[in-house]
Amino acid sequence: MAQGKRVGYVRVSSVGQNTDRQLDGIELDKTFTEKASGKTADRPELKAMIDYVRDDDIVIVHSMDRLARNVDDLRRIVRELNAKKVTVQFIKEGLTFTGEDSPMATLLLTMLGAVAEFERALIAERRDEGIAIAKANGVYKGRKPALSKVQATDLVARIKAGESVTTIAKHYGISRETVYQYKRAAV
């Protein structure tokens, strides 16, 4: 019987974050690294990893919240991998799922996934409350505008003159969406 591959999946939420610590010291045959939010399961490296793995492979992930941010996605991804006869191992939680798991293992997956989802919601709630308090105290001013007032006026004039949004975005080094936001604000 052939030994499967040990495949790592690493995810951080933004490009600036470091991925090194997640599976440091763990021997892997291949690693898929994602620098994207986990709010959706529609992530290129996750899809590539799921397509890559075969019977008897082991997918190793630092923790459940690295694979998915909500219970539904977590359970669906683990079931999808298990259906391919792939084992899923979470290092931080010390849990392994093979598809032949006991009801207790399924309960643990669901409960720990729910705790991670709840924790994420609490963090977002505290962040939003902190911003509201800072705004009320006049401390929080929001994000700095992408363009100066002079540039914004010029941008709007260029749009009215019929110049393409893409050309304007390239000129100012901003996204097309930001151009549209300035356009909407000028109306």
Q: What amino acid positions are annotated as catalytic residues?
A: 13
Task: Print burial letters for 106-118: b (CB count within 10 Å at least 16), e (below 16).
Answer: eeebeebbeebbe
Dig out the tokens for 66 from the structure.
């690295």
Q: Is 38 helix (H, G, I), strand (E, B) or coil?
A: coil
Dig out the tokens for 4 from the structure.
């499967």
- Structure letter (DSSP) for residue 163: -
- Structure letter (DSSP) for residue 92: T
Phi, psi torsion values for 17, nearest 5 degrees: -80, 150
Beta bridge partners of 87: 58
Where does residue 51 fall: left (phi above 0), alpha (psi -120 to 50 degrees), or beta otherwise? alpha
CA distance 37 to 68: 9
Cβ atoms within 10 A of the Cβ of 49, count? 26
